[in-house]
A and B are shown apart, each in its own frame.
Chain A
Amino acid sequence: MKLIKSIVRPNKVDDIREALEKLNVAGMTVTDVRGHGRQKGHTAVYRGKEYSVSLIPKVEIDVVVPNDLAEAVVTAIVESARTGEIGDGRVFVFPAEQGYNIRTGERDI
């Protein structure tokens, strides 16, 4: 299996969820994070002083899928998350050696 970890724009979560539903990917975990790649942050002004806020709000979406589904899932996420502007995010792929269902105790592999 693969753990597919995506960092995306917050306003893209619904689009990505729909894209994953279409591929019958049932489970996903979503986390509010802050981060940046090459996207510049913004300048905040507080009490007359300027501050660089370079950590930008993003959302991290994790899904774990069988190997043969991984490429389709990555493509679906990338396409639904893309705007073409700097700051669209990234997708990382990790091997997942094992997966367990807590309720039933079953192993996925």
Chain B
Amino acid sequence: MKLIKSIVRPHKVDDVRDALEKLNIAGMTVTDVRGHGRQKGHTAVYRGKEYSVSLLPKVEIEVVVPDAVAEDVIEAIMAAARTGEIGDGRVFVIPVEQSYNIRTGERDV
């Protein structure tokens, strides 16, 4: 299995979720994060002093999928999340050794 970890723009979450649903991916975990790649942050002004705020709000979406569907999932996420501007985000693929269903105790692999 693969853990597919995507960092995307917050307003793209629904699009990504729709795309995953179409591929029958049931489970996903969504976290509010802050981060940046090469995207510049913004300047905040507080009491006359300027501050660089370079950590931008993003959303992290994690799904764990069988190896066979990993590539389709990656393409779907990328297509749904892309705007073409710097700051679109990234997708990372991490190998997963094992996965368990807490309710039933079953192993996935």
Q: Do A and B bind each other?
A: yes
Knowing A103-B82, A105-B78 are in contact, say whether A30-B34 is a contact too (CB < 8 A). yes
Whether a CB of chain A sits under 8 angstroms from the CB of B85 is yes
Q: Is the pair A3, B92 in contact by a Cβ cutoff of 8 Å?
A: yes
**For A96, what are the chain B residues with a Cβ–Cβ distance below 8 Å?**
92-94
Q: Please classify the interface of chain A as helix (H, G, I), strand (E, B), loop, or mixed, using the class held by over half of its residues.
A: strand
Q: Is the pair B60, A31 in contact by a Cβ cutoff of 8 Å?
A: yes
**For A27, what are the chain B residues with a Cβ–Cβ distance below 8 Å?**
35-38, 90
Task: Say which residue of B7, B87, B91, B94 sits within 8 Å of A29 (CB atoms).
Answer: B7
**For B91, what are the chain A residues with a Cβ–Cβ distance below 8 Å?**
98-100, 102
Q: Is the pair B86, A103 in contact by a Cβ cutoff of 8 Å?
A: yes
Q: Please classify the interface of chain B as helix (H, G, I), strand (E, B), loop, or mixed, using the class held by over half of its residues.
A: strand
Q: Is the pair A30, B92 in contact by a Cβ cutoff of 8 Å?
A: no
Q: Give B91's nearest chain A residue, CB to CB.
A: A100
Task: Say which residue of A3, A31, A97, A101 sits within 8 Å of B33 (CB atoms).
Answer: A31
With the chains together, A31 CA to B31 CA distance in Å? 8
Residues 60-78 of B at the A interface (beta carbon under 8 Å): 60, 74, 77-78
Q: A64-B90, A98-B91, A101-B88 are in contact. List 5 more A-B contacts (CB 8 A).
A: A27-B38, A97-B95, A98-B92, A98-B93, A102-B81
With the chains together, A64 CA to B4 CA distance in Å? 13
Q: Is the pair B95, A103 in contact by a Cβ cutoff of 8 Å?
A: no
